[in-house]
Amino acid sequence: MKKQKILVIGAGGQLGSELTQGLWRLHGKENVVATDIKEPQGILSQGQFEILDVLKQKALFEFIQKNNFTQIYHLAAVLSATGEKNPKFAWSLNMDSLISVLDAAVEYKIEKVYWPSSIAAFGPTTPKDHTPQDTVMDPTTIYGISKQAGERWCDWYFRKHGVDVRSLRYPGLIGYKTKPGGGTTDYAVDIFFKALADKKYECFLKPDTYLPMMYMDDAVKATIDLMQAPAEKVKVRSSYNISAMSFSPAEIAEEIKKHIPEFTITYQPDFRQAIADSWPRSIDDSAARKDWGWQPSFGLQEMTKEILLNLQELPA
Ligand code: AKB
């Protein structure tokens, strides 16, 4: 494999910190530079790290040129719930930064770019069950609108400029190492921390709200598998549907109770309920399976067991 030099933008986030570790394993720590607008927390400080604001285009371009990167993973984004509170900023961060990164890819002949899309790119009139790869997309959140538009920009840069850009429509991502911030699916992470600390959790979604979800190890694997796939196998240049499991708050609470019998859940739906109601319940990811061999490893049971075990072992 040709030696790669990797830039991760937004590495301090929930996905970024775990993906950076996956990239260390694949390419070596010396070949991965993690960046964010905040100082690194935890394990990220063990690798190369730089403060970088992706919205400062001149500094971004200079940084890319100076380091001779061959691949860019651009993960910085405002998520669905936070985006509704500050829509203009969400649009500017999510959109302007993507276009800058794609322009940099053209200018500095970056070999591959990764950018995450989301199930938020779908909307209320999208088919809710087994949502197809190509279907109606009418997102209602600014985050979702930015993901849908971003997908079109990726496809456009691929066709017009030959940028080898690749993308996945992530479902809710669930990990225990770094907490998410500002998403609608975040309840499925918070619930584990509260179950262990307080034995109870108040959920901001209704008990029967089904959403597509994925354990972080699967998300990292999917991302790396897609980026490692030969270019001719990557047939979708907007973003691939990807799926692992779907569950409701009531179902994950039942699963947690198997390990913590005294755990209780209550429900106090807030504005995030309308966001969740506009998203698919389950996703058809057959294109990803067929084109580059996607296969998830974790379902609800395996994930719950693994997270609770690991959280109990971590120092408080
Ligand atoms: C969110 O809830 O905003 C994100 C997502 C589904 O993209 N986790």
Confidence band of 200 (pLDDT split at 50, 70, 90)? very high
Higher pLDDT, 179 or 165: 165
Per-position b or e across 35-61, b if 16+ CB within 10 A of its CB: bbeeebeeebeebbbeebebeebeebe
Q: Would you call 201 a catalytic residue per the annotation?
A: no
Cβ atoms of 94 and 77 closer than 8 Å: yes
Residues near ligand 1 with C-beta < 6 Å? Answer: 79-80, 118-120, 143, 170, 172, 183-185
Q: What angle do CA 149, 225, 40 make, to 5 degrees?
A: 75
| 313 CA to centre of ligand 1 in angstroms | 27
Q: Report whether pLDDT(315) > 60.
A: no
Index of the ligand 1 atom closest to the CA of residue 118: 7
Cβ atoms of 199 and 260 closer than 8 Å: yes
Cβ atoms of 62 and 121 closer than 8 Å: no
Distance CA 86, CA 37 (A): 18
Q: Report whether pLDDT(313) > 80.
A: no
For 67-107, the pLDDT digits (tens) are 999 999 999 999 999 999 999 999 999 999 999 999 999 99
Which residue has its alpha carbon closest to ligand 1 atom 4? 183
Segment 123-140 mean pLDDT: 98
| 244 CA to centre of ligand 1 in angstroms | 15
Give pTM, 2 decimals: 0.97
For 152-170, the pLDDT digits (tens) are 999 999 999 999 999 999 9
For 42-73, the pLDDT digits (tens) are 899 999 999 999 999 999 999 999 999 999 99
Q: Which residues pair with 168 in a beta bridge?
A: 240
pLDDT the model gives residue 179: 83
Q: Report whether pLDDT(309) > 60.
A: yes
- Cβ atoms within 10 A of the Cβ of 286, count? 14
| 185 CA to centre of ligand 1 in angstroms | 6
